Amino acid sequence: MSGQFELFLSQLSETNSTLNSFTDFEKIKRNVNRISIKLNQLNYLIGKENLQEAIEELFSENKPVSKDRIELMNGAKVFFYDAESIKKEFAEYGLLDFSELDEPVKFDNKQPPMKFTMIKCRK
């Protein structure tokens, strides 16, 4: 590994260009500011004791795409499936199994684990 890093360093050359020559930081800042409120809406769900109620509230505040989906921002869709919806949505992909996973909140061990669904299909 260190040999690869040494090779990388040996191929670098000095330049008087700054990162601004390669990256439009103002555009990045505008884009991050534009979407950060929507992205932070998902944080709202962390640690909620009544997750169903919190999801329903999130649905009421955003554009519904279908019974199980909302659109937080242009093109970014969030899915909330129950067992019936999983069976219906994934049947055509050869649904094999689905199970609920508990993911610990790593930055705050006082919070209950977040629930995720692992979906296994043939295709």
Question: Rounded CA gap, 79 and 68, in Å?
Answer: 6
| pLDDT of 18 higher than 90 | no
pLDDT score, position 75: 63
| pLDDT of 93 higher than 60 | yes
93 within 8 A of 81, measured Cβ to Cβ: no
The CA dihedral of 75, 81, 85, 87, to the nearest 10 degrees, is: 110
71 within 8 A of 63, measured Cβ to Cβ: yes
Residue with tokens 């659109």: 71
Q: Which residues contact 81 (CB under 8 A, 6 or more apart)?
A: 68, 89, 117
70 within 8 A of 63, measured Cβ to Cβ: yes
Q: Which has the higher per-residue pLDDT, 71 or 93?
A: 93
* pTM, entire model: 0.43
Q: What is the pLDDT of residues 52-83, one digit of tens each?
A: 788 778 777 777 777 777 776 666 667 778 88
